[in-house]
Structure 1
């Protein structure tokens, strides 16, 4: 097992990331927070032996292979760079930085130190999305011609006072997926619905490097109880769809469609929602990169590209 220190112990860390340390082959030996009360409560709950409010002290006193950083966007850079300066590998929850330039600077620092610096865009690692990626890369799929990305959530205006705040927190996942499947996008053109009240609803078009076209429907005018997301990718003759995270539908040009979804009746990590959503596989990829030196595709340079893409999307939206 690799030994890590947990940096940040708020709700997203303790509800989503920390419970997966064991299944991912990670031993968390220490945790840090600015709040003494919070870090002591969290370490007691998870049986983590050491609690710190001084990050430098944790990095100096504990023998760590890496740190797992889950903090608000504006807090990442100094914490991540401090670990990198000590030659410690870093996993940062998305977006990993507050801006593309900040993510690029972190990438440069990690490259100079020769450490793994990974950003947790977990959807890339979700089981259905990973399967879809394999299908689109097969020769018989052909070049991408058209792709659509739907991300429809329930109301979130109480959490986000501006369109930009919401774009960088939630739809950024599907912008990253669009880059993952389609490459670097340009010619962004967005339209904001004027009928959504305090909520957000945006339709976006962009162009992929090979000439294909990409559309996105992003909103908080849906329901938390209903269908939330879908990705469809069309090659030439063949296509593939990921429906609501867990189901991959392959439609070969000359064969019947093939439907794959996890067998949830088997109580194993590979059939859990943690794998379906990608949280467990991304942590396993981080641990494997440290152990083997294998490159991670979801690094800070890639994160910079996603942050820049969201910035371009936001600028393109007609208000």
Structure 2
């Protein structure tokens, strides 16, 4: 079986923290070239990792390397040019979220992609995290009774000016869509705390009738837990805390009037998922290797990997509506 030939565009910190180390999980692939416009980044990357060839111009790389796919992680303000060049060259794309800054640019690229018959996948990694995947399966069970209330918190340290909503909050807007279906923003508040520091409170309603809130502040220390999700059903809830811990609270079987020996029975009481962080790969908890595995697997099967750019466009539209609410 011929390996899928992959190129990596963008060699910032994310290339080290997530994408490069996660490519080893992808089936039958070969990372043949890397690219960054900054020569010092290319030099640093190739000093640490054995990559056959390197470039400082992605158009040059696309022309020279006979690639099947590229992984693009330049940033929401710069991804569009690389996506466009790859699609025009007939090369499939996995782009780190957020793919582009506006729905207008997303619409243009979706149309180009369809005309060229090329696949573009967006790396919204929370759709691939173990904890959130488990939560999605749980809320789909008949016993859960549907989701009545959705509450999430997703904080950060001081953030790049003007990028907190499009590059950070977008994660949990997309997560809500993935778990509940399409959502409508009902009320949005934003408070500017200081330079690179702001706080948001977002209320929404899903098409299913679920009501929810997303709270996010860029005022914290990133070394502390930043993320929490609670989904409330009928007589039970599921909580994902800091992405690495899940608790499914079910109706307890031990009653107040019971004075005998307490017994933990199947079908009741809490189920807990709390893996050993020492032995559990960091990337599995954050979903990146699952993103890349899904991308390469779909390409080898000849199907569109998801989430697609058209899907991601709906999450970008929610960010635009956020901004409209607070203007």
TM-score (norm 1): 0.90
Cα distance in 2 for residues equivalent to 1:53 and 1:152: 34
Cα distance in 2 for residues equivalent to 1:57 and 1:193: 44
- CA drift of 1:259 comes to 0.6
After alignment, is 96-105 or 53-62 more displaced?
53-62
Q: For 1:226, what is the secondary structure of its paired residue?
A: coil
Residue ranges of structure 1 left out of the alignment (5+ in a row): none
Question: 1:287 aligned to 2:296?
Answer: yes
Aligned length: 308
Question: 1:24 aligned to 2:37?
Answer: no
The 1:53–1:238 alpha-carbon spacing in structure 2 relative to 1, beyond 3 Å, is: same
5 Å-filtered alignment, 1:160-239, equals 160-162=160-162, 165-193=163-191, 196-198=193-195, 199-239=197-237
Q: For 1:72, what is the secondary structure of its paired residue?
A: coil
The 1:15–1:212 alpha-carbon spacing in structure 2 relative to 1, beyond 3 Å, is: closer
Q: For 2:204, what is the secondary structure of its paired residue?
A: strand
5 Å-filtered alignment, 1:54-93, equals 54-93=57-96
- CA drift of 1:265 comes to 4.8
Question: 1:258 aligned to 2:271?
Answer: yes
Contact 2:299 2:305 in 1 (8 A): no
| Residue equivalent to 1:10 | 12
Question: 1:139 aligned to 2:142?
Answer: yes
Q: For 1:148, what is the secondary structure of its paired residue?
A: strand
Residue ranges of structure 2 left out of the alignment (5+ in a row): 253-267
Cα distance in 1 for residues equivalent to 2:222 and 2:40: 32
Q: For 1:14, what is the secondary structure of its paired residue?
A: helix
Contact 2:198 2:217 in 1 (8 A): yes
TM-score (norm 2): 0.87
- CA drift of 1:213 comes to 0.5
Question: 1:312 aligned to 2:325?
Answer: no
| Residue equivalent to 2:257 | none
Contact 2:101 2:166 in 1 (8 A): no
5 Å-filtered alignment, 1:123-134, equals 123-134=126-137
Cα distance in 2 for residues equivalent to 1:202 and 1:244: 19
Cα distance in 2 for residues equivalent to 1:187 and 1:11: 33
Q: For 1:190, what is the secondary structure of its paired residue?
A: strand
Contact 1:100 1:303 in 2 (8 A): no
Q: For 1:77, what is the secondary structure of its paired residue?
A: helix
Stretches of 4+ aligned residues off by more than 3 angstroms:
263-266
**1:61-90 CA distance string (max 9 Å, x none):** 212120000102121112111111222110
Aligned-CA RMSD value: 2.0
**1:31-64 CA distance string (max 9 Å, x none):** 1222334324323421111112232332122121
Cα distance in 1 for residues equivalent to 2:305 and 2:66: 23
After alignment, is 120-129 or 288-297 more displaced?
288-297
Q: For 1:96, what is the secondary structure of its paired residue?
A: coil
Contact 1:148 1:216 in 2 (8 A): yes
- CA drift of 1:142 comes to 2.5
| Residue equivalent to 1:116 | 119
The 1:11–1:315 alpha-carbon spacing in structure 2 relative to 1, beyond 3 Å, is: same
- CA drift of 1:275 comes to 0.6
| Residue equivalent to 1:303 | 312
